[in-house]
Each structure stands twice: as structure tokens, then as C-alpha cells.
Homo-oligomer: A and B are copies of this chain.
Amino acid sequence: MLQKRQVLADHVFEAVLSLLLDGEVATGSALSIDGLAKRFDVSSTPVREALARLESTGMVRREALRGYKVTAGPTAEDVTDLLVTRQVLEPAMTALACKRADDNFVAELRAINAELERSRHGGESFVGYRPYWKADELFHRHIAEYANNEFLLRAYGSVEGHIQRFRLLVHNDEVSGEHTIGEHQVIINAFADRDETAAKEAMTAHIAAITARAVDLPVFNKPNEQDSV
């Protein structure tokens, strides 16, 4: 029984989100309302509300009278489209964030990147990779929030879950981690210099580098058989 003093629907939302983000449920599989209700020992109403919220994130899809299903794994085209979207949003937000950057903000970014470095060697295991994801996600989200634009943040948030799912595809990769940390460093340095143009270009370069590394992903090399009629 989940008994923290908050609303049950919030906990179910978080719990299901963790299931999805940690890849503990197969893509495309059905999410039964009653099943989740029993799993978390609540009734169906909170589950229903949580799933309705999750639908807006695109992580699950709903068919009327047929229930919810986990969104199918991304195709090569999806990965490309997602990175194009990041290329549209994040450099713009980086430039805005740089306008407001102060020493404290730069210090926070350095701390996050240090955490990234520390957790990079977490390792071989799947769960050990989790702190690395979280740190990477936090780095980008911190900049997004600092841009101080409610609507840009909303737009970013609408694809943030998919970015996280993309990270699952990459798994642990020592080389990729090394590049990521270095690229982040360039961005941080631009923030430290209050150089808006440099910061924007550094973020653009970072995402371009992610894109370049993405072509090694399995979805780009294997013909994907997960498309069903």
C-alpha cells in the first residue's frame, strides 16, 4: 500500500512513469487498468486519471473501449525527428538561459556535470546506468527551466519523455559518455563567459554530435520488425 500523504493518482502516475522510463515494460504491450490497480493496490479511478495524464506525454496511447498500450519503440525516423525537434528547441532555450545566467547557475551546471562524470562508471549493469540518465536529463532540463519561458518549457516537456526513452536505446557506452561530458563542458564555459552566441552554438553542436552518434543505434541498422498491422 502506498500511503504517503499525497493524492493516489499522483503516485500511480509516478510509478507508471518509472516503469516506462526504466524500460520495465515492453514497448507495445497493453497496460490493463485493473491490472495496474491491483499492482499498486488502489482502485481503478486513480489509475484512470494517471493514464489520462500519461497519454498527453505520448508514452502511452489510448484506443476507445480498447484500453491503453505502451507506445511502440521508436523507429529510425522517430529518432531523427526527435533530434530535429531538440535542435529546434534547445539551442533557442540555451540562448535565453544565457541571458539570465549568473555564477550560481553555472555552478549548478558544473555540479550536474560532475555527477554525470561520477556515475559514468556505474557500469555494466542496467540499473547502474540510471543515475547517468538522470544526470543527463537534469542537465538539459535545468537549462530549459532557466530559459524562464513557460511555453517553451511546456513544449520541451511535451517531448522530454521521448528523449528519455531515446536514452534507453543508447544503453551504457563509455565512449559516448566521455563525449557527452566534454560537450556539456563547452556549453558550461560559454555560460560562464555569458556568451549567448557561443552557448547556443555549443548546444547545437552537442545535439548534432548526438545525432551523429545515433546512426550506430540498432534501429538504424536492423530492419525494424516491430511495425505490425
Residues of A within 8 A of B (CB): 6-7, 10, 45, 48-49, 52-53, 55-58, 64-65, 78, 81-82, 84-85, 88-89, 92, 96, 149-152, 154-159, 162
Contacts and interface: CB of A to CB of B under 8 A. Distances in A.
Contact of A53 (B45, B56, B157): B56
Q: Give the dominant DSSP class at A's interface.
A: helix
- Copies of this chain, tallied across the complex: 2
A81 B150 CA distance: 7
A84 B149 contact: yes
Contacts of A96: 84
A147 to B, nearest CB: 9
Which 8 A/B pairs are nearest by Cβ-Cβ distance?
A: A56-B56, A155-B155, A52-B52, A158-B158, A85-B151, A6-B64, A88-B92, A81-B149
B154 A157 contact: no
Contacts of A57: 56
B56 A155 contact: no
Given A10-B64, A45-B48, A49-B52, 5 more contacts: A6-B65, A48-B48, A56-B57, A88-B92, A88-B152
23 contacts: A7-B64, A7-B65, A48-B48, A52-B52, A53-B53, A53-B55, A53-B56, A56-B57, A78-B150, A78-B151, A81-B149, A81-B151, A84-B151, A85-B149, A88-B88, A88-B152, A89-B89, A89-B155, A151-B159, A154-B158, A155-B158, A155-B159, A157-B158
Contacts of A154: 58, 158-159
Contacts of A65: 6-7
A88 B94 CA distance: 12
Contacts of A157: 158
